[in-house]
A and B are shown apart, each in its own frame.
Chain A
Amino acid sequence: MKMYRSKGNIIFDAIIYFVMIFVLLICLVPFLYMLAVSLSDPKAIINNEVSFIPIGVNVEAYKQIFAYPNFFRAYGNTIFYTLGGTSISVMMTALFAYPLSKTFLKGQKFAMKMVVFSMFFSGGLIPNYLLISNLGLTGTRFAMLLPFAINQFNLIILINFFKSIPNEIEEAALIDGLGYFGILVRIIVPLSKAALATIGLYTAVFFWNDWFNGLIYLNTDQFPVMLFLRNIVNGTSMLGDAAGSADKATIAISIKSAVIITSTLPIIILYPFLQKYFVKGLTVGSVKG
């Protein structure tokens, strides 16, 4: 197809490109700067010579953070929580969403209302803590995995997606002798890969970024890497109100940058490959079949 390119069209395209490149730079520049700083010589940083290209390349900052006693353990913990938590969450959400997608089921409407109710009103920090604690989960890794198994927002997305699958398929399976569990596992789940991938990604990002639940429920050797990152990037500046020695503690920007790069890199690398699901996720479940 031959496109007609008038002068106006070309100018319009140029403006679009210009705006898009500008937006891209806004996202990219801080990241590139951090990368350059993390790889630069401290002397060059102090003398304000670093822009986007590392000056006097050295990996000292990375060596230092790898020497932090808990860095790798915390990193491993985060990977575990992300993988484990996401698997549990996807499985539990699917198991709950499927019956809730059946409007003929007794009590379905009531259960739906309860889900929505708990989405808007929660117990609050202390009651939640007491609940987790009385269940004997504090200080165990399950405290990170189980309480967040079902997110109401993801659940509603999935319920609507399940509703959009034609009933005829299920009826055929019923006639062929499959039970409802079999239908879920063999028919519904394979048909819902896009939806499951979407909520899986939402959940994975949640688990990757979460630090607060780790802080309150877990013990030191179970802390996720984000808590570690927060301590390095923010820890000393948060001390502002404490008089005296706290002001002495400063951490080199190269180390802060190196930590940020190291702990965000996996998600950044993963994102371009999975972002199509995110885009899909915005519309998944929004239209009923």
Chain B
Amino acid sequence: MSYNFKFDVLLRYIPEIVQGVLLTLQFSVVTMLCGLAIGLIVAMASISPLMPLRACARVYVEALRNTPLLVQLFIVFFGLPSIGIKLGANTAALIALSINMGAYGAEILRAGFQSVRQSQVEAGRSLGLTAGQTFRHVVLFQAIKTIYPALASQFVLIMLTTSVVSSIGATELFHQAAFIDSRTYRSFETYTLITVSYLVLTLGFRAFFAGVYWMVFVRRPRR
């Protein structure tokens, strides 16, 4: 048995793939931003002096990090309508992804806050800076530098993870694969091509983030 690999039939679908890439980028950016916003709240709760707040933050982080995204997605998309909350596929996908990212974002941000040594704050204050100035000029830059690599790789991870939301029909890159597959009947070629598209995205973004890191933190380490 021999199989004729025909990747050329897919050439016609390049516009669909480009569109899928753009949608995946949209999903990733929105998820990253919403997830970081949630993560910031949870991270602040997790270092607050109030025990109940810390407990809530910990439950949230552990619950989200110890269950699969796919199941979280199904709970939001298939489960919530039974208590009267109906969501479109894209909305459900973005909500599930953001809530999921919130748990990872919280851990990253908490690590960032805690990485800056207290003595740095004291040094800033003893130089006569206000609390706000100390945060802006002393703490923030160092914290961002510490968490930058984690945030960058988290972004790439989100990009790859968005493929999962195609399973509820949310329209991103992997969803286009199902579309092209249904038109061409070339499943193997289609999924190979889509998977390679993700690889190009991943490598591109890793290079981009590394470049930004070098420009911002390496080339001029002091401000």
Q: Do the two chains belong together in a single complex?
A: no
**Which residues does B use to contact A, with CB under 8 Å?**
none
